[in-house]
Structure 1
Amino acid sequence: MIVRPARCVRPGFIALTATAAMLVAALGAGAGSAAAAPPYPVVIDAAVATVTGDLQPAETVPPGANVPGCRSEQPPVVLLHGTAQNQMSAWQYLAPTLANAGYCVHSLTYGQTSWSGQVGGLGQREKSARQVAAFVDRVLASSGAGQIDLIGFSQGSAVAQLLSQLPGRAAQIRHLIGLGPSNKGVSTVGSIADRLPARGPGVNDWGPLHPGIDYLMVMTRYDEVAAPYTNGYLPARPNVRNVVVQQQCPGDRVGHIGLPYDSWVAGTVVHTLAGTTGEPRCTNGFGY
């Protein structure tokens, strides 16, 4: 049985609330007793979440994240936002969705600079990976868990993979999930070399894959940021799964920004973490 913390809904969020049972049913996730948990508010509008989230202080956490004393039978989930975002702009849908399903969710705003204000993902990526490593240490110490599940959106996927290259870190990671990743070539944001230094175009810059980590990369054909979307593919391995939203949802024109707010993506993430199968609900996601 999953042990869940007491829930408290924070005021001030523009949100659409639903019971955990309705949410899990909509995703097709079959999370069992998660239906009994009081829900955190869920924002389903990526545009609203991006605008309202980026205006929040960097320390503001999305609903359901960083809950003191949270315990679960599953490893803690650590969320890493994308470029020029903070944790609120990226995770007002997926953080409460996972928390409502019984997961202990953790997030931070990483990669801030002296000029970036309340947003992050603008620092040197290797330094960001070390910042995330210190955060992971705190998560593992507070939870008593031996591993985490990492979910990175856009640049967050690269930082997650860089984290796995640090000594001893690969053994701490069970799943590494990338949403809208750029694993080779140059993306429209990655070309800003003075502010977003990468290791060079034309290759997977984030280091070797690890046999003990299960990788899931989720792409959309309508991605105009990490473009072409095929740059998100990782090399074929038994522990690698590359998926494109439109392979299962041909009518979903979700774009890059919309990926963390897409119902099919969220359902696929939940099934992956739980080790279950099912058919997540298709919708027409945010098209940017």
Structure 2
Amino acid sequence: MAHSDRSFNTRLTTWAGAVAMAVTGVVTGVGAASAAPPYPVVTDAGVASVTGDLQPAQLSPPGSNVPGCRSDRMPVVLLHGTAQNQMSAWQYLAPTLANRGYCVYSLTYGQTSWSAQIGGLAQRETSAKQVGAFVDGVLRRTGARQVDLIGFSQGNAVAQLMTQLPGRAAQVRHLIGLGPSNKGISKLGSITDRLPARAPGENDWGPTHPAIEYTMIMTRHDEVSAPYSNGFLPAAANVRNVVVQDHCPRDTVGHVGLPYDSWVGGQVRNTLAGTRAPVRCTVGYPL
């Protein structure tokens, strides 16, 4: 009988342990499921550009506009280029930054009555005011005092125009331009709508502001914002002009490829974090 009791107790202990492990596994599984998994990152600029432009203007790229996002870092606002929407421009940078703990926000600005699901086609002055209102919403949602702006192509111009509006410069810490055109014309048309009109020696989008840190990232293979040197801002202590090929000579990335280039993404992360971590050179999308 004693032997049977011992055997029963052994089986009971084993069964209880198995149940405990199963419960622990369930609880652990729930915890893992409740934590946000890494957002999927798209690296093919061609695929992202074509498929993204077919998506609704209101659709956010992975990692962007996440409800209830909280971070001890400055919120990041992404502004796409001409004839794009947020999905075509930001399927690489939005999830890349979100996966590193940033609260990322994006919108499709500059839509017109005829532009369907794409934006960046309205007058830039109008787009700048739209972006300013969007930034107000981001600051309310996050409780932050400032944002970091990243503008691709026309998005850089709209970001700079936004900072010329009363009180807006104080809302911006970093302004990062990818494939910018800060003077002259681009292959997509003449620069005409400035707010306010530029003064001699300034870029086409008005003066820079001493409290904003500017980083302009350009590629020598840019056939849209051409020549690429039009992207340079006047030299100043708070201005950094970066040419990809000065650091990665073999990277033939073009205009469309800039927001999907991993070396460019590394420079963006370093700029936002105030670090100088080494970034491996790659060969980006050539168009």
What is the TM-score when the length of structure 2 is the normalising length? 0.85
Question: Any stretches of 5+ residues in structure 1 without a counterpart?
Answer: 1-5, 9-35
> CA offset at residue 198 of structure 1?
3.2
Which structure: greater helix fraction?
Answer: 2
- What pairs up with 1:249-288 in 2 under 5 angstroms? 249-288=248-287
Partner in structure 2 of residue 43 of structure 1: 42
Give unpaired runs (5+ residues) of structure 2: 1-30
Higher alpha-carbon Rg: 2
Identity %: 73
CA contact (8 A) 1:221 1:229 kept: yes
Query: What's the offset of the Cα at 1:74?
Result: 1.0
Answering whether residue 68 of structure 2 is matched by residue 73 of structure 1, we say no
* 2:147 alignment counterpart: 148
Residues 203 and 172 (structure 1 numbering): CA distance in 2 closer, same or farther, change over 3 Å? closer
- Shift in Å at residue 279 of structure 1? 1.8
Mapped to 1, the partners of 2:54 and 2:226 lie a distance apart of 27
Q: Deviations over 1:148-187 (max 9, x none)?
A: 0000000000000000001111011000000000000111
Q: Aligned in 2, Cα 1:142/1:7: closer, same or farther, shift over 3 Å? A: farther
Letter in 1 for 2:233: L
> Following TM superposition, where does structure 1 have runs of at least 4 consecutive aligned residues deviating by more than 2 angstroms?
197-203
Counterpart for residue 138 of structure 1: 137
1:88-103 paired onto structure 2 within 5 Å: 88-103=87-102
**Quick one: which of 198, 217, 220 aligns to 2:193?**
198
Map 1:154-169 to 2 at 5 A: 154-169=153-168
- Alignment TM-score, normalising by the size of structure 1: 0.84
In structure 1, the residue matched to 2:210 is 211
Aligned to 1:63: 62
Do the aligned partners of 2:105 and 2:138 also contact (CA within 8 Å) in 1? yes
> Distance between the aligned counterparts of 1:126 and 1:240, measured in 2?
23
Greater relative contact order structure (CA < 8 Å, 6+ sep): 1
After superposition, the C-alpha distances for 1:12-33 in whole angstroms (9 at most, x for unaligned) are xxxxxxxxxxxxxxxxxxxxxx
Post-superposition offset of 1:99: 0.2
Amino acid at match of 1:78: V
Deviation at 1:190, TM superposition (A): 2.7
